[in-house]
Amino acid sequence: MITGLVLVVLAVVLVVENRQPVEVRVFVPLVTMPLWTALTVALVVGLIIGLLVTRPRK
């Protein structure tokens, strides 16, 4: 319960502190989005790649 609350507070702080727009080049197009969104996308992509690499092979 406390761990979940701490994670929620940290996520809110991350969003509040990183609201400025940034330009991210995604292959060819230039995308403008808030920094927290870019960080979240990078986290999710990294987690997916990590799960795919470490899963047991048949």
pTM, 2 dp: 0.73
Domain assignment present for residue 8? The answer is no
Range of the domain at 46: 16-58
Number of domains in the chain: 1
User: CA–CA separation, 51 vs 49, rounded Å?
Assistant: 5
Domain assignment present for residue 6? The answer is no
5 pLDDT more than 80? yes
Domain assignment present for residue 48? The answer is yes
Domain assignment present for residue 22? The answer is yes
pLDDT (tens digit per residue) in 9-21: 998 998 899 999 9
pLDDT (tens digit per residue) in 39-58: 899 999 999 999 999 988 77
Other C-beta atoms closer than 10 Å to the C-beta of 53 total 7
E strands of 1-58, at which residues?
A: 21-25, 30-34
User: Which DSSP string do the residues of 37-49 spell out, in sequence order?
Assistant: HHHHHHHHHHHHH
User: CA–CA separation, 18 vs 41, rounded Å?
Assistant: 14
- What confidence score (pLDDT) does residue 21 get? 94
